[in-house]
Homo-oligomer: A and B are copies of this chain.
């Protein structure tokens, strides 16, 4: 059985946000993003893909489609195709995100 304890896979780097692959097929990616305070995923856009972020712990400032909002653990948010999106860890705790991207870019 392909079961994973998410916290056992988290790792952080002083260098930049860490992206940890969990599951994928030719149709999607499912990853963990691990951001130390101050780290970010720069704002970017995918023309065809939905990206769903689920905040597992910590809090992040999300920029999606020109709006900004801080979301903490237990929240989910989606960037639809063509919506510019990014996230920054503006808190003092580590930030862990579960991220689904469909289809793969």
Residues in A lying within 8 Å of B, measured CB to CB: 1-7, 22-23, 25, 27-28, 30, 50, 52, 54, 56, 62, 64-65, 67, 69, 71, 74-78, 80, 98, 100, 102-103
A–B pairs, 13, beta carbons within 8 Å: A1-B62, A2-B78, A3-B62, A3-B77, A4-B75, A4-B76, A7-B74, A23-B76, A27-B27, A28-B50, A28-B100, A28-B102, A54-B98
User: Are A102 and B27 within 8 A (Cβ)?
Assistant: yes
Contacts of A52 in B (CB 8 A): 23, 30
With contacts A1-B62, A2-B80, A4-B76 known, what are 10 further pairs, Cβ within 8 A?
A: A1-B64, A3-B71, A6-B74, A23-B76, A25-B50, A30-B52, A30-B100, A54-B98, A56-B74, A100-B100
